[in-house]
Amino acid sequence: MKTPLNNSQNGPEIRFAEGQKVGLEYRAAAEGEPKTPEYFVGKAIVTGVRSKNLGGFVEIIDKDALKDADLSDVKGLFNHDRNYVLGTTGAGTLELTIDADGGLSYRITYDPLDPDHVRVMRKIERGDVVGSSFAFRVAPNGASWDYDEDGIYVRTVGKISRVSDVCPVTDPAYADTEAAQRSLTDYQQQRSQAPGPTLASRRRQLQLLALAA
């Protein structure tokens, strides 16, 4: 059974969007003319699927998690580096779209006069950029925990309060799960009086923790 937690463990978190490539959209060019990039494009949030092991738990983002999220001041960064700004919603150089599946796609206007843009464009063309990542906060009571039949802790994010940045990234390990880990500890304490897991499920949990080490 899913257990919502009424606590303040809703600090900033970072997740990598599994299986989503970052690409370039090009301007239409006459025959024989070189292609010119127009946008960086990617999908930052994927909903309805289990993440990889995030350190003893997996996570699912609900398709309605962004329904009331604050998307008014989002930055497009490279590798979550605030010194490496590619675009912002405030300046109109970053466009966000909530997709039909509830996920979040982004489009950043390409500026050929910006050296940062040129560097990121080259990295995308070479295949060095592996995907997208995003930084967010979970709303109070916006996540719930479950412990499934395989002995795996499952966190479901049902309500995101704010997205602060979306990023092309070169490393899928970009993840900050500190807030979720604190919430998991609270959930484990709540379960401490309940009947313990089976030996098989406990072994499975220990395997997950070993993989995350």
Burial of 194 (C-beta count, 10 Å sphere; 0-12/13-18/19+): exposed
Q: Are the CB atoms for 165 and 5 separated by under 8 Å?
A: no
Predicted confidence (pLDDT) per residue in 79-127, tens digit: 999 999 999 999 999 999 999 999 999 999 999 999 999 999 999 999 9
Residues 181-207: tens digit of each pLDDT: 565 566 666 766 555 555 566 666 667
Sheet holding 94-98, edge to edge: 23-26, 37-45, 104-109, 94-98
Domains held by the chain: number: 1
**One-letter amino acid of 66:** L
Q: Note the pLDDT of residue 5.
A: 47
Could you list the residue range(s) of the whole structural domain that residue 165 is in? 3-212
Integer angstrom CA distances of residue 153 from 70, 146, 199, 200, 203:
28, 6, 15, 14, 13
